[in-house]
């Protein structure tokens, strides 16, 4: 098992591609009103819709100005500040189950992505030791059903790392 952000066949990266990005339409789009979920037939200029990343990124990067994208709430300044304050206490899973994968995709779209990249990195490097400790613990105890706040708040990527760590710890416990 390898952790993969952009592989074509990776289920996680497909789901990450489907996370919603708040988008504002800059043109009228006839016949596509169903995207808004309402009964209207057309999309009006200025309409704000949450579109999946694969759609919004393609439209936003095309040579016509279809969309204005805004940064999803999961990567807002409020979240970054919370991560700076106490990385282990932020429940990433509540923000987005594919927080890292989605964050990388958003940062690839931004011209000024320094801040977002820094907060992704900050979150990962600071939470890694908690993942490691939890994995080592899970590998050494028989009761695998325990729950902690941190365990419940891990995003999918962190869960994968956690399981890798726990499996390895369990395997090497005896020797």
Partner 1 sequence: MAVPGQKKESLTPSELHFIATSEYVVEIVPNFSMGQIRLLSGIWGPFTPPGKARVPLWLALDLKRRKRCSIVAPEWMSVDHLQERLKDETTHGEYADLPFRYLEISKAIIGVAGEDVDNAALIRSLLMDIRQARQTKSRQGVVKMNDAGMAMTGISQLEINELRPFFVQSFGVMRRLGGAHVAAPMSQSTQIPSQFTLDEDGWDVSGV
CA-based angle 58:68:76, to the nearest 5? 100
Q: Does 140 bind partner 1 (CB under 8 A)?
A: no
CA angle in degrees (0–180, nearest 5) for 39-45-50: 65
- Closer to partner 1 by Cβ: residue 66 or 124: 124
Q: Decide if residue 3 touches partner 1 (CB under 8 A).
A: yes
| Lookup: tokens for 157 | 């990527």
What is the footprint of partner 1 within residues 151-170 (CB under 8 A)? Answer: 157, 160-161, 164-165, 167-169
Q: Which is nearer to partner 1, 5 or 66 (CB)?
A: 5
Q: Of 47 and 116, which has the nearer Cβ to partner 1? A: 116
C-alpha distances out from residue 59 to 30, 42, 53, 66, Å: 16, 17, 10, 6
Region of 32-40, 79-87, 129-137, 145-153 interacting with partner 1 (CB under 8 A): 129-137
> What is the C-alpha to C-alpha distance for residues 56 and 140, in angstroms, rounded to an integer?
45
- β-pairing, 20-25 with 48-52? antiparallel
Using the contact rule CB under 8 A, the part of the chain among 25-33, 47-55, 84-92, 122-130 near partner 1 is 122-130
Residues 6+ apart with CB under 8 A from 112: none
Residues forming contacts to partner 1 in the complex (CB under 8 A) are 1-3, 5-6, 100, 104, 107-108, 113-114, 117-118, 120-121, 124-125, 128-129, 132-133, 135-136, 157, 160-161, 164-165, 167-169, 171-172, 174-175
């Amino acid at each position: 098992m390898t952790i993969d952000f952009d592989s074509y066949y990776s289920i996680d990266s497909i789901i990450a591609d489907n996370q919603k990005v708040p988008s504002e339409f800059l043109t009228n789009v006839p016949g596509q009103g169903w995207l808004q979920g309402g009964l209207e037939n057309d999309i009006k200029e200025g309409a704000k819709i949450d579109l999946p990343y694969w759609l919004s990124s393609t439209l936003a990067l095309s040579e016509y100005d279809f969309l204005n994208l805004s940064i999803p709430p999961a990567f807002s300044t409020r979240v970054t500040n919370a991560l700076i304050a106490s990385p282990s206490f932020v429940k990433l899973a509540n923000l987005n189950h594919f927080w890292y994968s989605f964050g990388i995709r958003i940062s690839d779209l931004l011209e000024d992505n320094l801040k977002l990249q820094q907060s992704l990195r900050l979150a990962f490097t600071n939470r890694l030791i908690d993942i490691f400790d939890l994995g080592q613990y899970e590998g050494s105890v028989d009761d695998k059903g325990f729950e902690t706040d941190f365990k419940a708040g891990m995003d999918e990527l962190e869960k994968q790392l956690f399981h890798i760590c726990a499996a390895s710890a369990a395997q090497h416990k005896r020797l």
